[in-house]
Amino acid sequence: MILYDMDLMTLTTFPPLMKKRKLKMIRCANEQVLEKWKNGEAAQSHTGALRTNGTSLFSYELKIGHRSRSGVTILGDFTSPGGSFHSMTTSCHVGKARQIADHIMHPVVFNNSEFKNEG
């Protein structure tokens, strides 16, 4: 069987000669990225500013959220009222994620949590 991969513009045979490739992350709207995070799936926004690997939620390179193994989502309040303003875009990401997160943490508590470096 021969497959034509439009994204990579290569002609590939499947499966014997297929080389391992890094899978592309799904690109979607911010709201969809947040739903994917809630469901433990990887995704990123069209610009790449908001992304998740299914466990961690990032605004640019700042980890703003964590999803536990049990599926509980925890968000750091990285906004001006939360005491840790980073950018307007990050504040917007946090504002949208706040609607679906199970718990909201103060940024200092979030940054000192055991899961901060996980995922």
- Give the domain ranges of the chain: 25-111
Give the integer Cα–Cα distance in Å for 106 and 99. Answer: 16
Q: Does residue 10 carry a pLDDT above 70?
A: no
Tokens of 12: 């590939």
pTM to 2 decimals?
0.75
Q: Does residue 74 carry a pLDDT above 50?
A: yes
Give the integer Cα–Cα distance in Å for 93 and 24. Answer: 22
* 3-class DSSP state of 31: helix
The greatest distance separating any two alpha carbons of the chain, rounded to the nearest whole angstrom, comes to 57
pLDDT at 6 (0 to 100):
42
